[in-house]
Amino acid sequence: MAEYNRFRGRAFTLVELLVVIGIIGMLLGLLLPAVHSARAAARRTACQNKMKQLGLAVHLFADVHTVLPPSKFNYRYYATTGTGNDSSASIGHNLITYLLPFLEQQAIYSSYRFDRNWQNAANSGATQNRMDGILCPESDAVRWCRYGVTRGNVAHDRIVEYFCSDYTSCDQIDGTARTAVRNLGIVPSDWSSMLKAANLDTSAQKIPYDEWRISMYGMLSVKPVTFASVTDGLSNSMMLFECVGRPFKFAWGRVAGDSEVTPRTPLGGARWADDASQIWLHNICNGTQLFNCTNHQEIYSLHNGGCNFLYGDGSVLFHSDQMSPAAFVPRFTSSAGDVVP
């Protein structure tokens, strides 16, 4: 019997078991934040790579057409209704529609009608395509949202998918953001960024629809921009920006507010073909913060502490949302003659 007891296995006591569990818990507590941080860094890197592909697409477009693509295109012309009353109509397209051939989306590009507005039924087969290359990994790939903004309106109570883009142009600094920057003594000679809108309104002169206006040559002749126009230097000038999460409202890193309260969900400009996807920088928060305040027509990301920015030379840099206006504004402007600190 004594021989048997000598070889018996010794069990853990309750105290020892609790100590082991405690050690494992502490190790998990140390490892989980590191794992979360590593995953966030990987998503941020993936986002940067997608922006680099967009930068390459812009450069390829410029190689083919000798000018930069427009940040948006909107052509408003004179038309008449069925009863003969004076009216007007418009055709609008977003930057992404012009980059499709250079984003390996030739099939979508071939089916897209540039002689029709992006929202026209003739374009539904093209615009209702989800493209992973223009979606930030921090946001939902599929975004279902209530169609329309009127509570109780049966026609607007359909739940539909928004085929979105998380990357957009930001044409200029305006509104309260410009006022706040001016008050800090920062007054560039030009408040605009690299890509310009090609807007043309001939309706007031009662000029009817002209197919030439929507041709690549006619469209680009409205306000052509070349790389040579970027006098502040391509490596010093931001070209594309994040505006992540639309059509849902976000502020301070989380879904914001009531979807039935202005600005209602769905936010406008969410869809990748929509000419209203292009934004301006209007708002400022925390006194001097120029981005990551809200995604309602503003620069916004879901990355912790900052945003990715695509520059004119194709590089993508991550900037802290605590970046000072003195450092941000010279990088945002493209032809203001200001100096990047």
End-to-end CA distance of the chain: 85
pLDDT at 85: 66
pLDDT mean across residues, the chain:
89
pLDDT-based confidence at residue 7 (cuts at 50, 70, 90): low
pLDDT at 23: 81
Q: Which of 232, 196, 195 is nearest to 330 (CA)?
A: 232
Q: Give the type of residue at 46.
A: A
Q: What is the mean pLDDT of residues 233-248?
A: 96
- Pick the residue with more confidence: 275 or 217? 275
pLDDT-based confidence at residue 159 (cuts at 50, 70, 90): confident
pLDDT at 34: 58
Token couple for 34: 């590191």
pLDDT-based confidence at residue 5 (cuts at 50, 70, 90): low
pLDDT-based confidence at residue 220 (cuts at 50, 70, 90): confident
For residue 195, the cross-strand partners are none
Alpha helices in 208-307 (DSSP H): 216-220
pLDDT at 26: 77
pLDDT at 151: 57
Q: What is the mean pLDDT of residues 227-235?
A: 96
Report whether 156 contacts 146 (CB < 8 A): yes
Q: Give the type of residue at 63.
A: D
Rounded to the nearest angstrom, the gap between the alpha carbon of residue 24 and the centroid of all alpha carbons in its chain is 42
pLDDT tens by residue, 294-305: 999 999 999 999
Q: Comparing 106-115, 142-151, 232-241, which segment has the lowest mean pLDDT?
A: 142-151
- Buried/exposed 234-250: b ≥16 CB within 10 Å, e otherwise: bebbbbbbbbbbbbbbb
pLDDT at 25: 76
pLDDT at 86: 74
Q: Which of 259, 261, 265 is nearest to 246 (CA)?
A: 265
Torsion of the alpha carbons at 200, 205, 206 and 208, rounded to the nearest 10: -40
Token couple for 107: 């099939």
pLDDT at 301: 97
pLDDT-based confidence at residue 264 (cuts at 50, 70, 90): confident
pLDDT at 150: 59
Q: Reply yes or no on whether the pLDDT at 33 is more than 70.
A: no
- Pick the residue with more confidence: 93 or 21? 93
Pairwise CA distance, residues 284 & 192, whole Å: 17
pLDDT tens by residue, 297-327: 999 999 999 999 999 999 999 999 999 999 9
| Kind and range of the H or E run holding 177 | helix 175-183
- Pick the residue with more confidence: 266 or 29? 266
